[in-house]
Amino acid sequence: MKHIGVLGTGKTGSEVSNCLIENAYKITEFNRSNKFEHSKAKDLDGIICFLPGEAFLECFDELAKTKLPLVIGSTGYKLSEKQQATINSDTKAWVVSSNFAISMAIAKFCIEQIAQWSKSAQATDSIHEVHHKSKIDSPSGTALFWEQWIKNIKEGAKIEISSDRLEDVPGTHKYKATCPSESLEIVHTAKNRKIFAQGAVWALETIGKTSSTGLVDFFEMVKEHYTKGTQV
């Protein structure tokens, strides 16, 4: 891959552009002043999108027409069954995630282990997340991921989720399992948005080297590389 399209030039999208330039990629940025259309993608090798959720959905059909590998870091939306079917049947691989920190895949493993302990200890579970004030969705997509990971272990569990919106906070998430005699918790703190940009670029590079098609789980991608002992 040599030429990457970047949709969204906000705080995270700008970090993606910087990361790509640092790694000697040619980039084309798309935003309000340069609206994306599939005809503009003919010279691209892949696309990374960090548009707000609503804007991403507006571009969905045009993105699907490109037949290019995509990485989607947009949040605050939900793909319809029809859109999922489109991705799985008629596109190159799309890696869709609300969080592209590679360390989040390690957090997932830890969360699953804590949830297993919580289940046996009959503990109560809570998630607290903090993001910047301009983040629209609450709870965040990552918090909802964490909730689902816990419920995969503790089926039917009631999990309290609380949220704070402060100044320029890239993202902090805490899962705590509490029983009468003790508690166990894990915290993931993003110190800057570069980790999301680096993970998105890694994801695009990785799927670009494969023949994968359809929706691809970012966390499973990272897990597979760690299982193989491959550096990411």
Catalytic residue, chosen from 128, 135, 154, 188, is 135
Q: Do 8 and 87 have their domain in common?
A: yes
Q: Do 118 and 35 have their domain in common?
A: no
Q: Do 35 and 94 have their domain in common?
A: yes
Whether 131 is catalytic:
yes
> Does the pLDDT at position 108 exceed 70?
yes
Cα 97-101-5 angle, rounded to 5 deg: 60
Whether 135 is catalytic:
yes
* Domain hosting residue 96, numbered range: 3-100+194-227
Please state whether beta strands 94-96 and 70-72 pair in parallel, antiparallel, or not at all (unpaired). Answer: parallel
For 53-90, the pLDDT digits (tens) are: 999 999 999 999 999 999 999 988 889 999 999 999 87
CATH number at residue 153: 3.30.360.10
Band (212; pLDDT cuts 50, 70, 90):
confident
Catalytic residue, chosen from 128, 131, 154, 173, is 131
pLDDT, position 114: 97
Q: Do 38 and 94 have their domain in common?
A: yes
> Does the pLDDT at position 31 exceed 70?
yes
182 phi and psi, to 5 degrees? -170, 170
Band (164; pLDDT cuts 50, 70, 90):
very high
Residue 217 lies in a domain: yes
